[in-house]
Amino acid sequence: MSFLVEENPAKHRFEILVDGALAGFAAYEPRGEVRIFTRTEVRPEYRNMGVGAALVQGALEQVRQQGGRLVPECSFVRAYLERHPEYADLVITAA
């Protein structure tokens, strides 16, 4: 099983493809260089397979590479960040 995380700026979200099929997304509201993550969704057939964690990790890596910051309003993103303090430098409290 291969994962690919890509940003879809037109839809304001990061998408994860599993073996080429859209498996989920992490939606955000852009505020300049800041992204406010509002919702993460994984299709039912891809749940409990690590897809959500791979999606968030890929999104956070891309935010870091682009020099951006984020506000984790989405509970899934917030929980991921609590388990992965190496991304704490990307978080701001409000945009």
Residue type, 55: L
* CATH code for position 64: 3.40.630.30
Q: What share of the chain is helix, strand, coil (3-state, %, to 5)?
A: 40, 40, 25
User: Is residue 95, in this structure, part of any structural domain at all?
Assistant: no
User: Is residue 49, in this structure, part of any structural domain at all?
Assistant: yes
Phi, psi of 72 (to 5 degrees): -90, 80
Q: How many domains does the chain have?
A: 1
Domain that holds residue 49: 3-90
Condensed to tens digits (0 to 9), the pLDDT of residues 54-77 reads 999 999 999 999 999 999 999 999
Q: Which residues of the chain have pLDDT under 50?
A: none
DSSP string, 24-60: EEEEEEEETTEEEEEEEEE-GGGTTTTHHHHHHHHHH
Give the pLDDT of residue 95: 59
Distance CA 3, CA 87 (A): 20
